[in-house]
Structure 1
Amino acid sequence: MKLTNAAAFFIFVPTLTPALDPFSASILTGGAAVAWQLLSPQSWLKCRFLECCNMRDTLNLSVLKMDLDRKVFGQHLAIQIVLRALSANMHSERPRKPLVMSFHGWTGTGKTFVSSIIAENLYQFNIPRRRFVHHFNTVLHFPYLSHVHLYKEQLQNWIRGNVSACPRSLFIFSEMDQMPHGLIDSIMPFLGYHEEIDGIYYGKAIFIFLNNAGGDKVTEIALDYWRSLKRREDIPVKKLQSLLSEEIFRNKNSGFFHSQLIQKNLIDYFIPFLPLEYKHVRECVRQELRVQGHPENEDLIAEIALAMTDYPSEERLYSSKGCKTVESRVTLST
C-alpha cells in the first residue's frame, strides 16, 4: 500500500522517540500528528486552518432553520421550500442531479440574504468559503451582449473546474432578470440527470438563481388573498410555483425567457418571496437598530416602517423596496 509522506513520517516516529527525553519525544510526536493532519486530504485540522472542500456534508438543518427563522421576516413559504429542498438533497448519498432553486420576488424581500445564510451554513468550521461559493452578478460578469459566446465557454469551464475540485460547490446567480437570453442555457448539461460528465459528478452541486422577474406575479397573488380576507400563510405553494414557471418563461425581461432549463424541467424549485408588510418591515428596522447598537425605540421603528409601506398607493400594504433601504434610514434617523 502506498503511503503519503505525512503518514510515513508518523509511522517512523516511534523508532526515534526512545533516544529522546520524554519532553522532546512528546513534541516530536505532537509535531508529527500536526503534520499528518495538515497533509492528509481528509484532515479536520486542515479544514480548520486551510481551505478545503467539506466532503462530509455537515450542514445542520436545525441550525439553518433557526438562522432563517430568526433573521428572515415574512417569508414562511420560501423558508419552508428551501429547508425541504436542502434536506432531500443532503440526505441522499448520491443525488441524481444537482439541486437547482430559483428565487423570485421584489427587491429587498430576502432573496440574496437567504442565499448568503445557506452559504454560511454549508461549510464546517467557518472556513473561508470563497473557493466553494461562487457568486455571479449578471451586470458585473456578463455586461456585453456581443460577448455571449465567450461568456458561455467561460461559465462552462468555471463550473466544470470548480465542481471537479469540490463536488459540494454552491453557485449563485444574481440579477437574473438582466441575464442575456440564452446564456444560462449553456450550463444545462450540468443540471441534468447524469451519472457523470467526462468523469465529473455534479449531483452534489447547488445552483441558486436570484430573480426580480416574477415578483409582480407573487405580489398580485398575495394582494388578491389579502383583499379576499385570506391569510398569506394559506397561499398554495404548488400554484405559485407553477405560475412563476410560466411567467418567467414568457417574460422577455427574464433570463429564463424561453429557456431550455424550464422546458426540460431542470429547475427543481421556483421559490416565491412574498412582498413585505408593515409588520415585517418593523422587524427589519428593529434588527438593524440592534446591529448598529441603538436601543429599540418603538416610535422610531413605527415611523420608519410606516414611511416604507407604500404599495398599493391606496392601501399602502406592502413595501415596494422590501427592507432594502432600512440600513440607511436607521443610520440617518439615529
Structure 2
Amino acid sequence: MSFFNVLHKSCILCLILVCLAAVEAIEPLTMGAAAIGIGAGLTYFKGQTYCRFYECCDDRSIPGNIQALKDSLERTLFGQHIVTQHIIPALTAHFSAQSRSRKPLVMSFHGQPGTGKNFVAEQIANALYLEGLKSGYVTKYLGQADFPMESKVDYYKDRITREVRRSLASCPRSLFIFDEVDKMPSGVFNTLTSLVDYNFFDDGTDNTKAIFIFLSNTAGAHIADHLGNLMKGGKLREDTRLSDFEPLLKKAAFNMDGGLKKTTLIEKHVIDHYIPFLPLEKAHVIKCLEAEFDRWDMPPRKSIIEDILATSISYDRNHGLFAISGCKTLEKKVSMALY
C-alpha cells in the first residue's frame, strides 16, 4: 500500500473519530433522541466514506451474490448434481432478507480428494464476499497446519472459541471454513457446538447470520462404494439424491478418526447439511481437462487429453468406474504438457 493510500485511510479514520468524540461530548441530559440521531448519521457517514473504499460488514462488502454462485457452479463444477441441488437453496434461504434464522448455517462436505470440496468452498467465499477468501470476515483453518498435535486439543478448543467469537463480534455475517477435518484430532470441535447451536449470548454476540463449512475426506471411499453399488443395481448417477448418502455420511463422520469423531456437533444435531461429493468418472475428468485448456485461453487438444487419461488417471479397484484422484492434479498436468 502506497504512502498516499495510507494517508488517505488515516484521514478518513481521523474524521470518523472526531465525529464519535463529538457524540461523547454531548451532555448526558441532552443525549436521548439526539444521540440516537447522531449515531444513525455517523453510520450513514461511515457508509458513504470509509466503507466505500475499505471492507465493512455491510451489503457492499458482503453482497451475497447467490445467483453468481449458481451460474459459476453450473459452468465449472462437474458430476456433482447433489451439491448444487442443496447448497444453492441452503445459502439462498440463509441470506434472504426475510430469513428468520435462529442459528448459523452449518454444512459438512464429504468426498474423496479432487471431487471439488475446496473448489466449492472457495466459490462460496468469492460469491458472498467482495474480497473472497481474502476478506477479513472469512476465516479458513487447515487441519494439519493449525491443529497438528493430539496433546494440545484443549488449547485448540479454546483458540477456536476465542477466534470465532472475536470474528462474530467484528461481523455477524462471517464465514468459517475448516479444511482437512479428517486430519484434526478428535474433540477439537466440542466447544464450538455452543457457538453454532440455538443460543443467546449475554455479550450481544450474534451468531445467527454466520456460516460454518467443514471439509473432509471422511467417508469418501464409502460414498464411492455406495454409488457404485447403486449404479450396478440400475440407478442412474443423476437420479441419486441426498437421502441416498446423508445417513452414511453422518455415521461415518461420527465413528471415523478425525475432528468430527464422537463430537457433540453431530450428537446435538447442529450440522444442518451433510453434502456428498461423488467420485468422478472418466467423462467428468475430460470436462475438467477441457476447463483447464479454457483457463489458458486455448482450445482443447485431444492428443494431450488422451495422453493424460492414459498415463495419469487411475480408477478404483472395486468398480473400475471412478478416478481415484478426481480432478486434483490436472491443472499441473495440462500446464506441463503445454510448455
TM-score (norm 2): 0.82
| 1:214 to 2:219 alignment | yes
Residues 279-315 of structure 1: per-residue CA shift (max 9 Å, x gap): 1111111111122343311232233235444223375
State the secondary structure of the residue aligned to 1:41.
Answer: helix
The match for 2:190 among 182, 185, 188 is 185
Partner of 2:252: 247
Counterpart-to-counterpart distance in 2, 1:332 and 1:37: 55
State the secondary structure of the residue aligned to 2:144.
Answer: helix
Residues 95-121 of structure 1: per-residue CA shift (max 9 Å, x gap): 210000000000010000000000001
State the secondary structure of the residue aligned to 1:73.
Answer: coil
| 1:313 to 2:317 alignment | yes
Q: What's the CA shift for 1:240? A: 1.0
Q: What's the CA shift for 1:180? A: 0.8
State the secondary structure of the residue aligned to 1:210.
Answer: strand
- State, as a whole percentage, how many aligned pairs show the same letter: 36
Residue identity in the other structure for 1:178: K
Counterpart-to-counterpart distance in 2, 1:272 and 1:331: 29
Q: What's the CA shift for 1:87? A: 1.3
Query: Residues 54 and 123 of structure 1 are in contact (CA less than 8 Å); yes or no, is this contact kept in structure 2?
Result: no
Query: Residues 39 and 46 of structure 1 are in contact (CA less than 8 Å); yes or no, is this contact kept in structure 2?
Result: no
Partner of 1:275: 279
State the secondary structure of the residue aligned to 1:327.
Answer: helix
Counterpart-to-counterpart distance in 1, 2:156 and 2:167: 16
Partner of 2:22: none
| 1:103 to 2:106 alignment | no
| 1:196 to 2:232 alignment | no
Residue identity in the other structure for 2:102: R
The match for 1:113 among 106, 114, 119 is 119
Partner of 1:238: 243
Partner of 1:148: 153
Counterpart-to-counterpart distance in 1, 2:222 and 2:58: 38
Q: What's the CA shift for 1:39? A: 8.5
Counterpart-to-counterpart distance in 2, 1:259 and 1:278: 36
Residue identity in the other structure for 2:280: L
Counterpart-to-counterpart distance in 1, 2:91 and 2:246: 17
Query: Residues 48 and 127 of structure 1 are in contact (CA less than 8 Å); yes or no, is this contact kept in structure 2?
Result: no
Stretches of structure 2 lacking an aligned partner (at least 5 in a row): 1-13, 20-40
Counterpart-to-counterpart distance in 2, 1:284 and 1:146: 41
Residues 308/256 of structure 1: CA separation in 2 closer, same or farther (3 Å cut): same
Q: What's the CA shift for 1:207? A: 0.3
Counterpart-to-counterpart distance in 1, 2:18 and 2:201: 34
TM-score (norm 1): 0.83
Stretches of structure 1 lacking an aligned partner (at least 5 in a row): 10-35
Query: Residues 277 and 309 of structure 1 are in contact (CA less than 8 Å); yes or no, is this contact kept in structure 2?
Result: no
RMSD: 2.5
Query: Residues 125 and 133 of structure 2 are in contact (CA less than 8 Å); yes or no, is this contact kept in structure 1?
Result: no
Residue identity in the other structure for 1:230: K
Query: Residues 137 and 174 of structure 2 are in contact (CA less than 8 Å); yes or no, is this contact kept in structure 1?
Result: yes
Partner of 2:8: none
| 1:226 to 2:226 alignment | no
